[in-house]
């Protein structure tokens, strides 16, 4: 793996935990200065302290235009550059269709889709200055296939998939690549059951359907580090001729449908 990611600056949203934190750790391990951005500033601060170096935490609500502008201004003032943007911040939604209303639907789009675009637009001037900027959007397997009780979430993540492709078309002439990862079943806080009884991966239905009957060929849920390893490729110069792509990091589950 090339080491060109060293001495670069990255912003990772939703980096206070889970996949975002794992990506922040992976990039920082390569010498990247990471802005650990999260709505939960204490969690972001904890991750930034853990990874050390030039990394720093920044509390931001990506649905608030003023706060997003503040993030861009902070990065410009402190680092004067942004080479990598990872749009990871998101909320989970499993509202049954019968209970879904437009207010809830709009909230999910505001965070999961509109927020990613808002951050991207705010950081574009710095990414353009980089001449080799990298945008990595975190989508989901539900952005490329359907599932029950996922209308709002699937719509937002499907939007991320095509936002990525459109950005690739618009920004290629600036030397900026735009790609996406679509994780499958990943063992994060998002996998906690609504009733607090544990993780979905620990349930009998998950073990029977996805493990016993091979719906996940690799026979385990993924980890945040599995996603972070794939992210590292898209954030490096090794992916210099790869743009507009969506990589499913799902242990092969998409191959079984």
In this structure, the strands spanning 9-13 and 33-38 are parallel
Q: Can you say how many angstroms the Cα of residue 124 is from the centroid of all Cα atoms in its chain? A: 17
Q: Is 72 in the same domain as 115? A: yes
Helix axes 18-29, 224-235, angle to 10 degrees: 50
Question: Residue 37 — left, alpha, or beta (φ > 0 → left; ψ -120 to 50 → alpha)?
Answer: beta
Q: Is 165 in the same domain as 93? A: yes
Q: Is 156 in the same domain as 204? A: no
Q: Looking at residue 1, what is its pLDDT? A: 39
Query: What are the average pLDDT values for consecutive 10-residue runs of the chain, which has 257 residues?
Result: 63 97 97 97 98 96 98 98 98 94 98 98 97 97 92 98 98 98 82 59 64 78 95 97 97 88
Tell me if 256 is assigned to some domain: no
Tell me if 255 is assigned to some domain: no
Active-site annotation holder among 153, 210, 213, 241 = 153
Q: Is 44 in the same domain as 142? A: yes
Q: Is 214 in the same domain as 97? A: no
* Alpha helical stretches, state H, 131-197: 151-171
Q: Give the full edge-to-edge strand order of the sheet including 84-87.
A: 56-59, 33-38, 9-13, 84-87, 134-138, 177-183, 246-249
Q: Which two tokens stand for residue 19?
A: 């996949």
How many CB atoms within 10 Å of residue 9?
A: 22
Q: Is 141 in the same domain as 206? A: no
In a 3-state reduction of DSSP, which class is residue 106?
helix
Radius of gyration of the chain (CA): 18
CATH number of the domain that residue 29 is part of: 3.40.50.720
Q: Looking at residue 147, what is its pLDDT? A: 87
Q: Is 213 in the same domain as 86? A: no
Tell me if 257 is assigned to some domain: no
Judge whether 213 counts as a catalytic residue: no
Q: Looking at residue 154, what is its pLDDT? A: 97
Q: Which two tokens stand for residue 162?
A: 């095509």
Q: Is 48 in the same domain as 149? A: yes
The residue segments making up the domain with residue 209 are 192-221
Kindly report the pTM of this predicted structure.
Answer: 0.92
Give backbone dihedrals phi and psi of 36, rounded to 5 degrees, phi first.
Answer: -85, 95
Q: Is 146 in the same domain as 181? A: yes
Number of domains in the chain: 2
């Amino acid at each position: 793996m090339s080491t060109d990611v060293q001495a670069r600056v990255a912003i990772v949203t939703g980096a206070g935990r889970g996949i975002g934190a794992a990506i922040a750790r992976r990039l920082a391990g390569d010498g990247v200065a990471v802005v650990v951005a999260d709505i939960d500033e204490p969690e972001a601060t904890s991750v930034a302290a853990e990874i050390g170096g030039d990394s720093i935490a920044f509390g931001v609500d990506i649905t608030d235009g003023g706060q997003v502008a503040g993030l861009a201004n902070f990065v410009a003032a402190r680092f004067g550059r942004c080479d990598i943007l990872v749009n990871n911040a998101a909320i989970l939604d499993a509202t049954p269709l019968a209970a879904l209303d437009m207010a809830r639907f709009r909230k999910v789009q505001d965070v999961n889709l509109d927020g990613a675009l808002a951050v991207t637009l705010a950081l574009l001037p710095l990414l353009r200055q980089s001449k080799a900027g990298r945008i990595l959007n975190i989508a989901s397997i539900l952005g490329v296939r359907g599932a029950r009780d996922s209308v709002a979430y699937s719509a937002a993540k499907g939007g991320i998939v095509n936002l990525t492709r459109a950005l690739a078309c618009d920004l290629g002439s600036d030397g900026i690549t735009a790609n996406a990862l679509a994780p499958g079943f990943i063992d994060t806080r998002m996998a906690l059951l609504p009733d607090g009884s544990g993780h979905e991966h620990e349930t009998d239905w998950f073990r029977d359907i996805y493990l016993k009957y091979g719906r996940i060929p690799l026979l385990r849920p993924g980890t945040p580090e599995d996603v972070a390893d794939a992210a590292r490729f898209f954030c490096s110069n090794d992916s210099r001729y790869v743009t507009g792509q969506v990589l499913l990091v799902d242990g092969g589950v998409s191959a079984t449908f």
